[in-house]
Amino acid sequence: MNAAFDIKSLVQEIDYGTPASEAEQQVTLTVDGKPVTVPAGTSIMRASMEAGVEIPKLCATDMLDSFGSCRVCLVEIDGRGGTPASCTTPVGEGMVVHTQSDRLNAIRRGVMELYVSDHPAAWGETAGTGASEFDKVVRTVGLTENRYGVDGRNHVEQENGVAPGHGSLTIDYIARDESNPYFTYDPAQCIVCSRCVRACEEVQGTFALTIEGRGFESRVSAGMHEAFVDSECVSCGACVQACPTDALREKTVLAKGLPERSTVTTCAYCGVGCSFKAEVKGDEVIRMMPYKAGKANHGHSCVKGRFAYGYATHKDRILKPMIRERVSDPWREVSWEEALTHTANEFRRIQYQYGRTSIGGITSSRCTNEETYLVQKLVRQGFRNNNVDTCARVCHSPTGYGLGQTFGTSAGTQDFDSIEQTDVILLIGANPTDAHPVFASRMKKRMRQGAKLIVLDPRRTDIVRSAHVEAQFHLPLKPGTNVAMLTALAHVIVTEGLFDEAFIRERCDWDEFQDWASFVALPENSPEVVGQLANVDPDDIRGAARLYARGGNGAIYYGLGVTEHSQGSTTVIAIANLAMATGNIGRPGVGVNPLRGQNNVQGSCDMGSFPHELPGYRHISGDAVRAIYESLWGVKLDDEPGLRIPNMLDAAVDGSFKGLYVQGEDILQSDPDTKHVAAGLAAMECVVVHDLFLNETANYAHVFLPGSTFLEKDGTFTNAERRINMVRKVMEPKCGYADWETTQELAKALGLGWNYTHPSEIMDEIAKTTPSFSGVSFDLLDRVGSVQWPCNEKSPEGTPIMHIRGFVRGKGKFIRTEYVATDERTGPRFPLLLTTGRILSQYNVGAQTRRTENVVWHSEDRLEIHPHDAENRGLRDGDWVRLTSRSGETTLRALITDRVSPGVVYTTFHHPDTQANVITTDFSDWATNCPEYKVTAVQVGASNGPSEWQRDYDEQAKQSRRIASLQAAE
Amino acid sequence: MTMQPASTEIASRTAAIIHELKGLEGPLLPILHGIQEEFGYVPQDALPVIAEALNISRAEVHGVVTFYHDYRSQPAGRHVLKLCQAEACQSMGSDAIAAKLKSMLGIGFHETTRDGSVTLEPVYCLGLCACSPSAMLDGEVIGRLDDEKLNEIVAEVRS
């Protein structure tokens, strides 16, 4: 958005210079004779742009508040003296503005001449692209000379001598900072407009940049004059996007030149679902530029979305189908036809031999809605069973269950913009600054405006306290005590009379509420009792409950720290109870919002990926629903739910489940109790992995079908706010087929007469069969950008806020939430509780981010341990430690920190050599089987290096990744 | 005084100063003054401690410290002599005074004599224009500088 290139096929976004005014009152003025009407409080600069008159500017951009430092955007106003800056001057009724005059031109040229006199341009050097906003303004004002010469004090020349290498070093010169893997900082080109500093503060909320020094010495500094990579910078790139010169510029642009065309698409990392312009030169992505019109991110991004796309062209990508007889054989590259026919034959053979239900499929939360829909259709129509499940099983399945039971829909209630009207944020088991960074920036912005924050998390995450934001309450509860803690909050709300009786009487069942209220009011649910259990100060519990109930608009945001427990579904229900009891549902600023881990978890759940549900969360036992699909697909559907992922693996070990089609999920690394998963996979006769890379699961696969990245396909992703965003093809699939085409080819090989020519036809089928999607089409999405389901006759352009007049299920349902401690307990052998999570620069199992420069920030998983626990065990920071649980053991290096409480240890699961899931147990949520990743009793001790399992595993992985050379294959 | 304290000592002494001044409205500048008074300069190691305590970023503290020339990053000499170089003093011959003083002390502006006795700094207006040219020695202002006073100053700082 900042660099407007004169190339037509780039998507251009207008920069209005200052943010839009929200005022209702309208003001009319004329700019260069053109009348324009804008809301009061709009800047003259913005009003002019709306009238089609572009005023030259350097320090202004519409993602930042006006600043008024560059003195280029001056205008004349009839009846007023001087030449005010148009960015800081608000419009007035009847104002007559002139943006061009001899006086203004002379001033602008004079200002630019001064800038240029301390800029590489004056030395005749092209240090940047030559196409920055700065370069453009130089041309716009018609600057042709530099009367000041190049001999004065400057930041450009390293040496002050005539002959290079013989002068003295000049004091103002600062060398380029190339430390960040993705962008360069060249102080010589900086004009000290502060746009980067303000972007870091206002947009990202990290405050990693400042202007150091004063006067001529002023220069942008990361941290305390540190290299970018060593500073507080989180590499979100907002500064690079904001920079009007090439002082901060993407390395790809400097190395490869400016992009030529762009396509608006949706990020494939987390559940925020940021919109991007993929800017391309030839067939190569030069950069990902956040799209300002994207309703989830409004032009912002994080380090993953903006920079970590290099995996798409990484040499590790497998581009040819491969098969092998036994997993101990090397892979053999084959044609698509051979691979697909072989797979179809194997699946049919297995079904003939072991029965109809002996095979199944797993859909991916990383793939598009259309692709997910096809995989479940393949299983239901082609395999003729319901053995389909999805990776959402291991993350947000309790959300679907809990919110479905209480509210009637299995999804978050708000749009992200709702946060702007929130007064109290209750954040439970989520670490948004690492896992959902773009939304975290919006939370932090709202907190800087005065919203309060309550955090329930065993770990002191960054949002609990970081520059300019601080939680009012942090309840560092013991892992596994969520239900008790939430019930204790409810106890305070009920016993202190803080509930919203009018809301409950109107929207919920009063008798159910009273039953629930009498339960939560029991003394065993009091903060005093629960505080002991969870190791939290009861006064903090009471304070937090009062703040949430009485602090204005209260919104709950939660993550996998809620769901990945043996009582995950109960916790979700407890959350819904809290929101209903306080009337915090059904309007902007409130609600219950799961922060989804992956780009399309919401969508994959919506698309009928679960073994008991058809698309739109309709139970498979419903005759009417089955009839819709039976008539369309021409088959009789099984009315019994199929197997879930853990059941498939159990059945495989038992010998009754023999074949699996896994699209885009690495179950071996991401599912709990790795050894059990490995045993299950090893017992199957045909495992088909459809993925970008030879992932860990592929070590046990017999067929590998190459996958395509989000850049190589059309389709839609649905983000955490139920927003259906378009994914558009930026380049041709490197392996020849987009994933939906591969699934279709497999279906054809199985004899199904599929004939989709474009994903839009798949969406049409979804819309035709699923009431909550009935209004969705690619045409609509192209027209309005994105919609939030339900999108149908009642709400043709989608539903930003749900349950506005009443709950979807009718009356909101209060359900008792009895706390049952997990069976996973600490004891003398395993005295510590392990919990797991993510870090900003890496994503999930790391298959993508480990194949980018993001490894600069996180090259290994570390075990966080409290100084007391470390001291008891004689551990120092950085020591190798052995982590043991009832399930297994692994080794990794310790990181000593008081972010975790005594008795709790924490690690990430981004690196396969760590194998954190060797440790996690097979306990799972009672309702949905979502695994209990967040609580494992462990012991930690000193170690010399990798465990035996890690060594064996490495060897096995190395063996199973062998690909026979072509000669050998032929 | 030129001995620099160890970083752990800096952290603990800084923490004490922060604790005392944190409640003030806009506590950053008073804290920095307090630290400069304590150590004779603002040690780099103190900045992260301040940032953490005030819940602001290291960058912000750095920006403020570097904006004000009064905050020094290195210990000064035993005496600090500030010579006014602003307009009124210039018109009364402060340039010549500066040249003379520099040669007498053998140092330039922003430098400290080898023996650590004195640091010489320019300053831009002490508000003593009526008594130009003026200077400030260890916080005490001196007006109407002339050769005699310069000799006295040099003698005092060298003693």
Tokens, residue A792? 């149908």
3-class SS of residue A928? coil
The band of A283, judged by pLDDT with boundaries at 50, 70 and 90, is: confident
- Scanning every residue of chain B, which has its alpha carbon at the shortest distance from the alpha carbon of A228? B59
The band of A5, judged by pLDDT with boundaries at 50, 70 and 90, is: very low
B60 contacts on A by Cβ (under 8 Å): 207, 210, 467
Strand order in the sheet with A261-266: A261-266, A275-281, A284-290
- Scanning every residue of chain B, which has its alpha carbon at the shortest distance from the alpha carbon of A222? B59
The pLDDT value recorded for residue A555 is 97
The pLDDT value recorded for residue A128 is 81
Cα B82 to Cα B121: distance, rounded to the nearest angstrom: 5
Kindly report the number of other CB atoms within 10 A of residue A966's CB atom. Answer: 9
Kindly report the number of other CB atoms within 10 A of residue A33's CB atom. Answer: 10
Q: Residue A681 in contact with residue A652, Cβ under 8 Å?
A: yes
ipTM metric: 0.89
Q: Do B59 and A213 touch (CB under 8 A)?
A: no
Does residue A161 have a pLDDT over 50? yes
The pLDDT value recorded for residue A11 is 84
The average pLDDT across B66-77 equals 91
A469 contacts on B by Cβ (under 8 Å): 55
The pLDDT value recorded for residue A3 is 41
Interface check A231 vs B, CB under 8 A:
yes
Tokens, residue A98? 């002139």
The band of A370, judged by pLDDT with boundaries at 50, 70 and 90, is: very high
DSSP string across A387-408: -EEEGGGGTTHHHHHHHHHHTS
Given phi > 0 = left and psi -120 to 50 = alpha, else beta, which region is A125? beta
Cα A166 to Cα A158: distance, rounded to the nearest angstrom: 11
pLDDT digits (tens, 9 = 90+) for A763-790: 999 999 999 999 999 999 999 999 998 9
Q: Do A208 and B59 touch (CB under 8 A)?
A: yes
Alpha helices in A521-618 (DSSP H): 527-534, 538-550, 560-563, 568-581, 601-606
Q: Which helix (H) or strand (E) holds A490?
A: helix A482-495
What is the number of helices (H) and of strands (E) in chain B? Answer: 7, 5
Cα B121 to Cα B116: distance, rounded to the nearest angstrom: 14
Tell me what the pLDDT averaged over chain A comes to. Answer: 91
The average pLDDT across A255-273 equals 93
> In this predicted model, which residue has the larger pLDDT, A12 or A574?
A574
The CA–CA distances, whole Å, from A196 to A208, A298, A559, A853 equal 10, 17, 31, 22
A465 contacts on B by Cβ (under 8 Å): 55
**Among B56, B58, B68, the residue to mutate for chain A (most A Cβ within 10 A):** B58
Sign, CA dihedral B14-B17-B20-B24, equals negative
Phi and psi, residue A265, nearest 5°: -145, -175
The pLDDT value recorded for residue B1 is 43
> In this predicted model, which residue has the larger pLDDT, A643 or A145?
A643
Cα A782 to Cα A764: distance, rounded to the nearest angstrom: 14
Sign, CA dihedral A251-A255-A258-A262, equals negative
Chain A nearest CA to B69, separation (Å): 8
The average pLDDT across A621-629 equals 93
The band of B4, judged by pLDDT with boundaries at 50, 70 and 90, is: low
- Report pTM: 0.91
Does residue A544 have a pLDDT over 50? yes
- The secondary structure of residue A690, as a DSSP letter, is E
Tokens, residue B93? 């011959």
Chain B nearest CA to A209, separation (Å): 6
A224 contacts on B by Cβ (under 8 Å): 44, 47-48, 58-59, 61-62
- The secondary structure of residue A895, as a DSSP letter, is E
Q: Do B57 and A222 touch (CB under 8 A)?
A: no
Does residue A925 have a pLDDT over 90? no
- Taken in order of first residue, the domains within chain A and their CATH numbers are 26-140 (3.10.20.740), 322-395+600-788 (3.40.50.740), 397-594 (3.40.228.10), 832-959 (2.40.40.20)
Phi and psi, residue A592, nearest 5°: -125, 120
CA A508 to chain centre: 34
Q: Do A210 and B63 touch (CB under 8 A)?
A: yes
**Among B44, B62, B64, B65, the residue to mutate for chain A (most A Cβ within 10 A):** B62
B69 contacts on A by Cβ (under 8 Å): 214
Residue of A211, A465, A470 lying closest to B63 (CB–CB): A211
The pLDDT value recorded for residue A590 is 96
The pLDDT value recorded for residue A409 is 86
The average pLDDT across A851-865 equals 87
Chain B nearest CA to A234, separation (Å): 13
Helix axes A568-581, A397-406, angle to 10 degrees: 40
Secondary structure, 3-state, A179-202: CCCCEEECHHHCCCCCHHHHHHHH
Chain A nearest CA to B155, separation (Å): 33
Over the Cα atoms of chain B, what is R_g? 18
Residue of B48, B59, B69 lying closest to A207 (CB–CB): B59
Interface check A849 vs B, CB under 8 A:
no
- A residues 431-470 closer than 8 Å to B (CB): 465-470
Q: Residue A406 in contact with residue A573, Cβ under 8 Å?
A: yes
The average pLDDT across A54-77 equals 95
The average pLDDT across A139-158 equals 86
- Among candidate residues A707, A697, A597, the one with its CA nearest the CA of residue A930: A597
Burial readout A65-95 (b: 16 or more C-beta within 10 A, e: otherwise): ebbebbbbbbbbbeeeeebbbbbbbbbbeeb
- Among candidate residues A369, A776, A381, A398, the one with its CA nearest the CA of residue A609: A369
CB neighbour list of residue A691: distance below 8 Å, 6 or more residues apart: A318, A662, A663, A664, A666, A697, A698, A704, A705, A706, A707, A847
pLDDT digits (tens, 9 = 90+) for A738-770: 999 999 999 999 999 999 999 999 999 999 999
Q: Do B59 and A231 touch (CB under 8 A)?
A: yes
The band of A1, judged by pLDDT with boundaries at 50, 70 and 90, is: very low
The average pLDDT across B63-91 equals 93
Q: Which helix (H) or strand (E) holds A661?
A: strand A659-663
Residue of A211, A213, A232 lying closest to B57 (CB–CB): A232
Residue of A206, A210, A466 lying closest to B62 (CB–CB): A210
> Does the domain spanning B79-158 belong to CATH 3.40.50.720?
no
Q: Do B67 and A465 touch (CB under 8 A)?
A: no
Maximum CA extent, chain B:
51
- A residues 191-210 closer than 8 Å to B (CB): 206-210
Q: Do B57 and A221 touch (CB under 8 A)?
A: no
Does residue A6 have a pLDDT over 50? no
- Among candidate residues A71, A42, A69, the one with its CA nearest the CA of residue A56: A71
Given phi > 0 = left and psi -120 to 50 = alpha, else beta, which region is A320? beta
- Among candidate residues A703, A693, A700, A690, the one with its CA nearest the CA of residue A742: A690
Does residue A491 have a pLDDT over 60? yes
Chain B nearest CA to A233, separation (Å): 10
Chain B nearest CA to A228, separation (Å): 11
The average pLDDT across A481-495 equals 96
Q: Do A223 and B59 touch (CB under 8 A)?
A: yes
The average pLDDT across A588-615 equals 92
- Among candidate residues A316, A336, A348, the one with its CA nearest the CA of residue A742: A336
The pLDDT value recorded for residue B47 is 95
A210 contacts on B by Cβ (under 8 Å): 57, 59-60, 62-63
* Domain extents in chain B: 7-67, 79-158
Interface check A174 vs B, CB under 8 A:
no
Q: Do A214 and B67 touch (CB under 8 A)?
A: yes
The residues pairing with A557 across neighbouring beta strands, listed in sequence order, are: A427, A593
CB neighbour list of residue A819: distance below 8 Å, 6 or more residues apart: A481, A483, A484, A487, A525, A567, A570
The average pLDDT across B52-58 equals 96
- Scanning every residue of chain B, which has its alpha carbon at the shortest distance from the alpha carbon of A206? B57
- Scanning every residue of chain A, which has its alpha carbon at the shortest distance from the alpha carbon of B57? A467
3-class SS of residue A681? helix
- Scanning every residue of chain B, which has its alpha carbon at the shortest distance from the alpha carbon of A466? B55
Q: Which helix (H) or strand (E) holds A286?
A: strand A284-290
Residue of B56, B58, B67 lying closest to A223 (CB–CB): B58
3-class SS of residue A618? strand
- A residues 468-507 closer than 8 Å to B (CB): 468-470
Q: Do B56 and A470 touch (CB under 8 A)?
A: no
Query: Which range among A118-122, A343-347, A403-407 shows the weakest confidence by mean pLDDT?
Result: A118-122
The band of A163, judged by pLDDT with boundaries at 50, 70 and 90, is: very low
Residue of B44, B55, B63 lying closest to A467 (CB–CB): B55
Chain A nearest CA to B147, separation (Å): 33
The pLDDT value recorded for residue A836 is 86
Cα A779 to Cα A459: distance, rounded to the nearest angstrom: 45
CA A929 to chain centre: 24
A779 half-sphere exposure, CB direction, 13 A CA radius: 5
Q: What percent of chain A has pLDDT over 70?
A: 97
The band of A724, judged by pLDDT with boundaries at 50, 70 and 90, is: very high
Phi and psi, residue A484, nearest 5°: -60, -40
Cα A311 to Cα A304: distance, rounded to the nearest angstrom: 11
Amino acid at A961: R
Interface of B with A (CB under 8 A): 44, 47-48, 51, 55-63, 66-67, 69
Chain A nearest CA to B150, separation (Å): 31
Q: Do B57 and A208 touch (CB under 8 A)?
A: yes
Q: Do B59 and A470 touch (CB under 8 A)?
A: no
3-class SS of residue A120? helix
The average pLDDT across B129-144 equals 94
Burial class (CB in 10 A: 0-12, 13-18, 19+), B43: buried
Q: How many residue pairs bridge chain A and chain B with CB atoms within 8 Å of each other?
A: 57
